[in-house]
Amino acid sequence: MPIIERSSYRAPFCLRNGHLQTILASSVRKADAGLYVRERIDTSDGDFLDLDWSRTGSRRVAVLSHGLEGSSHRPYVVGMARMLNRSGWDVVAWNYRSCSGEMNRTLRMYHNGSTDDLDLVVRHALAAGAYDALGLVGFSLGANLSLLYLGQAGETLDRRIRCAAVFSAPCDLAASSRALAAWQNRLYMVQFLRSLHEKVLQKMEAMPGRISDEGYDRIRTFKEFDDRYTAPLHGFRDAEDYYAQCSCGRVLHRITVPALVVNAADDPFLAGGCYPAAAAAQSRQVHLETPASGGHVGFMEIAGDGAYWSERRAAEFLGQQV
Lay out the sheet containing 286-289: strands in order across.
3-4, 286-289, 259-262, 161-167, 133-139, 60-65, 90-95, 48-54, 37-42
Spatial CA neighbour of 65 closest among 127, 114, 105: 114
Reported as type and span, the H/E element at residue 65 is: strand 60-65
Residue 153: Cβ within 10 Å count: 19
Tally of residues, the chain:
322
Q: How far apart are CA 257 and CA 151, in angstroms?
A: 10
Tell whether the torsion through CA atoms of 161, 299, 142 and 96 is positive or negative: negative
Q: For the chain, where are the alpha helices, taking DSSP H only?
A: 18-27, 75-86, 115-128, 141-153, 173-180, 186-206, 222-225, 231-233, 239-246, 277-281, 309-321
Q: How far apart are CA 232 and CA 205, in angstroms?
A: 19
Spatial CA neighbour of 225 closest among 239, 235, 244, 236: 239
3-state SS, 129-159, equals CCCCEEEEEEECHHHHHHHHHHHHHHHHCCC
Residues that are catalytic: 140, 267, 296
* Chain centroid to CA 264: 15
